[in-house]
Structure 1
Amino acid sequence: MDGTTYETLRERMRGEVITPEDGGYDGAREIYNAMIDRRPGAIARCADTTDVRAAIRFARDAGMDLSVRGGGHSGGGLCLVDDALMVDLSALRWVRVDPAARTATVGGGSQLGDLDHEAHGFGLATPAGIMSTTGVGGLTLGGGHGYLTRAYGLTIDNLLAADVVLADGTAVTASADEHPDLYWALRGGGGNYGVVTSFTYALHPVENVGFAVTLWEPDHLDAVMRWYREYLPGAPEELYGFFALLVVPPGPPFPEEIHGRKMCGVVWCHTGATDEESLTKAFTDVTEPAPPAFHFSMPVPYPALQTTFDGLIPKGLQWYWRGDFFDRITDGAIGVHGSFLDSMPTDLSTMHLYPVDGAAHRPAQADTAWAYRDAMWSGVIAGISPEPADAGRIRDWARGYWDALHPHSMGGGYVNFIGAEEGQDRVRATYRGHYDRLAEVKATYDPDNVFHHNQNIAPAAH
């Protein structure tokens, strides 16, 4: 299709329709992961819900493939598809907070930093990720976990309603009272069910938090992981700490003598210790497994914590990631982590274990599409580099690491950490016994599988 074919769509939309002939096309198709380089047939940069409806109907009438971009943060680049019409929500970037009701309604193209900033003005927040540049849409639809998860649950546990444009172009609201089956499926079922133009979340009193980083030498990895696997699950839910393998970045708060060195460590968030004295008391236990090579703590506004990694891993790097859920950290898994820390291919490559216990364990397994309420950690292995020439090296390292670690996992992984090439068995493993119900909901709301550029759940056959 050439550019003139889209005149009908341009007439129906307030937003732009960008084609390969337009000067801004290459910039418009860029996403967070620079390893993904594809060329959509056109990009419909929607200004409102009516634009989204028009774009979906146009694609269906024209027999075009359809993809959806929220924040453009997908590691697998599922929003970017050759020759498809991309429904681009990046202009739907707004937040409205109701401080009396403690809710926030957020445009589908917003980033977490937008939500964090506006909610923080009222001393409020909701659990959502660890980076401010992540899109709210993809994170939420996959389940969503972050610094506040042990205290306040998953992002989907705080999702009250969603405005959704369906595959036939109609617009509905999904909540506990309206389209409850769709509401159930949206809470963890990924982008399978429609285009969410706004999300409404419950908020919690969070203003300043205690931020801390503890690093240990690689020689202490065994002792530290054995301590961490017992310590954190028994800690108060106000304490969160994700375990990481990393190369120490060259900048504050890290002293120059440890820059560029491989370490293991924990990044902490404490919602109850928000001043220097209480923070010092809260982290006296970090010396138990071994003397830390580095420990730093300070109270910070919650949005500042969410931006900690933004500068370190900006848009435009090469990314390849794999993930799994874990109900325990086995001795065998600890050996795998030590081996792949030694072989870490670049300074930005990393492994994180995010806690998904505490408040995230209170909802019943059947309450949402998230099928791993019994998981303790959501793990991700990420090969990262600024250099395109490193793409193969970081991919091989991440795959090899995942292959070695997977036997110690629960079998499925966080849907947002699953790449397009991992296959249908991985999607089924991620949804466990929920898969058939999700397929039934898919058959109701998207029987033709219009929304299939995702970790796809095929509609049930009737």
Structure 2
Amino acid sequence: MDIEIKKLRGQLQGRIILPNDSEYKASKTIYNAMIDKKPALFVKCKNKHDVAKAIHFAKDNGLEVSVKAGGHNGAGLALVENGLVIDLSEMKSIKINPDERTAIVEPGNTLADVDKATHEHGLAVPVGVNGNTGISGLTLGGGLGFLTRKAGLTIDHLKAAEVVLASGDIVMANENSNPDLYWALRGGGGNFGVVVSFTYSLIAIKNVYAGPMFWPIEKAKDLMRFYDRYTKDASNDLYGFFAFLNVPDTEPFPEHLRKKNVCAIIWCYTGAKEKIEEVFEPIRQFGPPILDFVSDIAIPALNSMFDWLYPPGLQWYWKGHYLNELTDVCIDENINYGSNLPTPRSTMHLYPVDGKAHEVGQQETAWAHRDIRWVQAIIGVSDDPNKADLIRNWSKAYYDAVIPYSSGGGYVNFTMQDDEARVKESYGVNFERLRSLKKKYDPENFFRLNQNIKPAD
């Protein structure tokens, strides 16, 4: 294959990385250090034409393909063993049109990159809660974050995508061009092609009133009940995700709280400043919190608030559910595991998916579960490779314990490779249509290193 690689190298604007090259180790390093695959080569693409050439090369040489953008996916789907990685990480253009409130974003950008570019204009894309996350994977899976109740999912702001198909053809997908592909991309993951640019509508928002509040772990049951009740009737301006966590052993956290397991809510309020006291008085009266770091903060700072705690290179194993109700027995099971975290960085989050996200119909996008209340993320994390089994076993046991209270399925961005059996459940009423579109756009299942939707028979 050396001759073919040499020929491909001469056709690319980007470059090829092989196992003996000095850049190889860095190229195959992704966010989750638990994943160690050894690709045969990386094609570091500079543009859409490089992507198309990489696809043709892989097909001509019988190579399995993965697509790497941010490399943040917990299952390590960015890498392929002994195959070809289409690496988009150097495609980082961002073009903002402040008058039209749109952004055209290439797939190599992280949430932090996008936040920085849009914030300069007092605008934002509703994205996730970790600045290290790649914008590509986040968007294609749905996109949850601090602005979900206010403005919906990230895919609700995706207006167009330029896509390189399995055939190597380059097409636009929007309401008028390939509308069925456009529908599938909004939640269908990487099943339908390589997106080489995303066009988003932006919302006008710059600073918010946000940050974490902690309560003693002994208050968890009362807090979860209060959280459920208070947020259910709150305006869409109030968002808060619930967490079990271990207080980091460092500044700015008070020494008397460090290393303690606590329950927490990380708030984000986008409403009028004159209503802040009215909205937060009942919250602060509950308990009261043992730590209150809620204050005025810029959106980029909020979305990157915990990046330092979760740098690339840790061991990760995560599982997740869709939940509608926090019944007492559901709360008890969560407390049982959440108050016994296996490592200091392990955690559990409940991300709200109501408010504006509920205004989109179940079948308007591929992301089907528009009637759920929360996405649950059970996250085992460690800096010690020897604890990989510990965090994996804790995550699985926690997940199994909550199954009776799940509404079925789970957010595809929070699933691992061993969750393949749940794909159908996760897409619900949209699954068969997605299978039909997979057959249309990728009949040979060329793009299969994802939470895979197999083509219809």
Secondary structure at the counterpart of residue 31 of structure 2: coil
Alignment correspondent of 2:247: 248
Q: Give the drift of 1:14.
A: 1.1
TM-score (norm 1): 0.97
Contact 1:42–1:86 (CA<8 Å) still a contact in 2?
A: yes
Q: Give the drift of 1:257.
A: 1.1
| 1:334 to 2:331 alignment | yes
Contact 1:94–1:114 (CA<8 Å) still a contact in 2?
A: no
Amino acid in the other structure paired with 2:138: L
Identity of aligned residues (%): 46
Amino acid in the other structure paired with 1:440: S
Contact 2:420–2:452 (CA<8 Å) still a contact in 1?
A: no
User: Deviation digits for residues 24-45 of structure 1, max 9, x if unmatched?
Assistant: 1111111000000110010001
Q: Give the drift of 1:295.
A: 1.6
Aligned partner (choices 385, 397, 400) of residue 400 of structure 1: 397
Amino acid in the other structure paired with 2:321: D
Unaligned runs of 5+ in 2: none
Distance (Å, rounded) in 1 between the aligned partners of 2:312 and 2:211: 25
Aligned partner (choices 363, 367, 371) of residue 364 of structure 2: 367
Which has the larger displacement, 77-86 or 280-289? 280-289
Distance (Å, rounded) in 2 between the aligned partners of 1:405 and 1:430: 16
Alignment correspondent of 1:52: 51
Distance (Å, rounded) in 1 between the aligned partners of 2:5 and 2:182: 33
User: Deviation digits for residues 61-104 of structure 1, max 9, x if unmatched?
Assistant: 11110100111000000111101100000011121110111011
Q: Give the drift of 1:338.
A: 1.1
User: Deviation digits for residues 160-194 of structure 1, max 9, x if unmatched?
Assistant: 00000000101001001110000000000000000
Distance (Å, rounded) in 2 between the aligned partners of 1:88 and 1:433: 33
Distance (Å, rounded) in 1 between the aligned partners of 2:280 and 2:251: 20
Q: Give the drift of 1:253.
A: 3.8
Alignment correspondent of 1:257: 256
Contact 1:223–1:290 (CA<8 Å) still a contact in 2?
A: no
Alignment correspondent of 1:301: 298
Distance (Å, rounded) in 2 between the aligned partners of 1:152 and 1:298: 21
Which has the larger displacement, 77-86 or 6-15? 6-15
User: Deviation digits for residues 330-358 of structure 1, max 9, x if unmatched?
Assistant: 21111011111232110000000000100
Secondary structure at the counterpart of residue 381 of structure 2: strand
Alignment correspondent of 1:158: 157
Alignment correspondent of 2:19: 20
Q: Give the drift of 1:273.
A: 4.8
Contact 1:279–1:298 (CA<8 Å) still a contact in 2?
A: no
Secondary structure at the counterpart of residue 294 of structure 2: strand
Distance (Å, rounded) in 1 between the aligned partners of 2:201 and 2:325: 30
Contact 1:214–1:286 (CA<8 Å) still a contact in 2?
A: no
Alignment correspondent of 1:179: 178
Alignment correspondent of 1:94: 93
Contact 1:354–1:377 (CA<8 Å) still a contact in 2?
A: yes
Unaligned runs of 5+ in 1: none
Distance (Å, rounded) in 2 between the aligned partners of 1:113 and 1:213: 19
Contact 1:323–1:379 (CA<8 Å) still a contact in 2?
A: yes
Q: Give the drift of 1:4.
A: 5.3
Alignment correspondent of 2:128: 129
Amino acid in the other structure paired with 1:331: D
Alignment correspondent of 2:318: 321
Distance (Å, rounded) in 2 between the aligned partners of 1:180 and 1:365: 17
Q: Give the drift of 1:107.
A: 0.3
Contact 2:211–2:302 (CA<8 Å) still a contact in 1?
A: no
Secondary structure at the counterpart of residue 447 of structure 1: coil
Q: Give the drift of 1:370.
A: 0.5
Secondary structure at the counterpart of residue 365 of structure 1: coil
Deviating beyond 2 angstroms after TM superposition, the runs of 4 or more aligned structure 1 residues are: 250-254, 277-282, 287-291
Contact 1:125–1:204 (CA<8 Å) still a contact in 2?
A: yes
- Aligned pairs for 1:275-290 (under 5 A) are 279-290=276-287
Alignment correspondent of 2:41: 42
Distance (Å, rounded) in 1 between the aligned partners of 2:276 and 2:394: 37
